[in-house]
Amino acid sequence: MRTGERIGRSTGRTKQEYARVAAIYPNAFWRARAGDASVAMAVGGPDSSMESRPRAASDQVAVSPHVSLGAAPVIDGVFVQVRQVVRHPNIDGDVAYVEGGDLARLLSALPHRFAYCDIPNFWRDHVPWATGDRIASWLWSKHVLVRAV
């Protein structure tokens, strides 16, 4: 991992922790230390992950507009290869695989709007149902999947 990226992530997490405390104790001391963490919190930071997953088929979700795709070197078995990766403000670094599933491929298999409960069906050719359910839950907690507007 590149040193600059690691420092940036650590700084961001520290500011988010200060922002959490600043929300409880709103004084200049904590707000100054939180700095620009309010931007990350607005994207759907850690405190907003408590929102439960949509259960009804009528509740439509979508891939967050903050998601971007790119290419990066990734460990693939015993080799390092350039793969498509997913980026989002709530995910540390570039992510290519989650539980063995190719994340970019899984997200690409989703329609523009869909029912959250249908996700494992969209991914049935890529990962087992239970794995798809866990990946979807992780994506929801990171706000990669959001309520459709």
Is there a single domain that holds both residue 72 and residue 143?
yes
- 59: its two tokens: 């509740």
Q: Same structural domain for residues 32 and 68?
A: no
Which residue segment(s) compose the domain that 27 sits in? Answer: 3-42
Same structural domain, 129 and 69: yes
Largest CA distance in the chain: 52
pTM for the whole thing?
Answer: 0.68
Whether the CB-CB separation of 18 and 37 falls below 8 Å is answered with yes
Residues 71, 136 share a domain? yes
Same-domain pairing of 17 and 84: no
Q: Are residues 37 and 66 in the same domain?
A: no
Residue 47 belongs to a domain: no
Distance CA 123, CA 132 (A): 7
Looking at the fold, whether 105 and 34 belong to one and the same domain comes out as: no
Q: Say if residue 94 is in the same domain as residue 124.
A: yes
Q: Are residues 65 and 38 in the same domain?
A: no
How far, in Å, CA of 65 to CA of 109, rounded? 16
- Tens of pLDDT, residue by residue, the chain (149 residues): 566 666 777 777 777 777 777 777 777 777 777 776 544 444 455 444 457 878 777 889 999 999 999 999 988 788 999 999 999 998 888 999 999 999 999 999 999 999 999 999 999 999 999 999 999 999 999 999 999 98
| Shared domain check, 115 and 69 | yes
Cβ–Cβ under 8 Å, residues 63 and 148: no
Q: Do residues 140 and 109 both lie within one domain?
A: yes
Same domain, 72 and 137: yes
